[in-house]
């Protein structure tokens, strides 16, 4: 056990249902890695892992 609450985690992945919808359903902050410009308007998206990492480090919010 990691002793971490779901709300304390962030998950990023490129499969919309598995990597975005499922984690959100259990309370994990999830981000959709949109490498193919699928533009899921309801999802928090990043275009690449560097963008995701830079925003996490800087504390910037990732827009929905």
Rounded alpha-carbon distances, angstroms, from residue 61 to 2, 3, 17, 18, 58: 25, 25, 22, 22, 9
Within a domain: residue 39?
yes
- Would you give per-residue pLDDT tens digits along the chain (64 residues)? 789 998 888 899 999 999 999 999 999 989 999 988 888 878 889 999 999 898 788 876 554 4
What confidence score (pLDDT) does residue 32 get? Answer: 94
Give the domain range for residue 37.
6-58
Within a domain: residue 14?
yes
What confidence score (pLDDT) does residue 26 get? Answer: 94
Within a domain: residue 48?
yes
Which is nearest to 56 in space by CA: 19, 16, 10?
Answer: 10
Tally of domains within the chain: 1
Within a domain: residue 15?
yes
Within a domain: residue 43?
yes
Within a domain: residue 20?
yes
**Model confidence, pTM:** 0.77
Within a domain: residue 1?
no
């Amino acid at each position: 056990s990691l002793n971490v609450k779901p709300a304390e985690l962030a998950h990023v992945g490129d499969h919309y249902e598995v990597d975005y919808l499922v984690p959100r359903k259990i309370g994990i902050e999830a981000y959709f890695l949109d490498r193919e410009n699928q533009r899921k308007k309801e999802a928090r998206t990043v275009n690449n892992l560097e963008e995701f990492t830079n925003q996490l480090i800087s504390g910037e919010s990732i827009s929905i």
